[in-house]
Amino acid sequence: MSETRYTDQHEWVRLEGDNATVGITKFAAEKLGDVVYVELPAKGKAVKVGAEAAVVESVKAASEVYAPVGGEVTGANEALTTEPSKVNDDPEGAGWFFQIKLSDTGEFAKLMDAAAYAEFTKSP
C-alpha cells in the first residue's frame, strides 16, 4: 500500500513503508514549462524537512525542490539528468526526483492529501 501526499511548494511524496519517493506535481510542471535541467541530491545525504534538496530548471527559470519530509536520501532518478523532459511528460510517475528513508513519519501525516491539494491549487 502506498499513500501520496502534497506540499504547499508543489512537491508530491509517495510513502511505501518508510521509503518516500518525491517529485514535483503536474500543476508545478505545467507552471514551470519545459524542464531542461535537474540537479539531484547525492545518495546518503541527510536532508531536513523543508530544506532545499534538488533544483529544477525550465527554459524560463530555476526553482528549488524542497524535501517534504526529513531523512536520508536513498536514491535519485538519474535518468532525469539526461532526459529532463520526463518531468513534463510524467511528473508524478517516471519524472520522480529522489527517494528518502523517513526519519519521522509524523512529518508525512502533516502534508495535504489529494483532495486538499486540489483545493489548494484552485485559482482564487
Shortest distance (Å) from residue 63 CB to another protein: 12
Judged by CB, which is closer to another protein: 3, or 34?
Answer: 34
Judged by CB, which is closer to another protein: 82, or 122?
Answer: 82
Judged by CB, which is closer to another protein: 61, or 115?
Answer: 61
CA dist list (Å): 10 to 6, 14, 30, 100: 7, 13, 11, 17
> If we measure between CA atoms, which residue out of 27, 6, 26, 1 comes closest to residue 69?
6
Alpha carbon 50 to its chain centroid, in Å, reads 11
Q: Which residues bind another protein (CB under 8 A)?
A: 33-34, 36-37, 39, 55, 57-62, 81
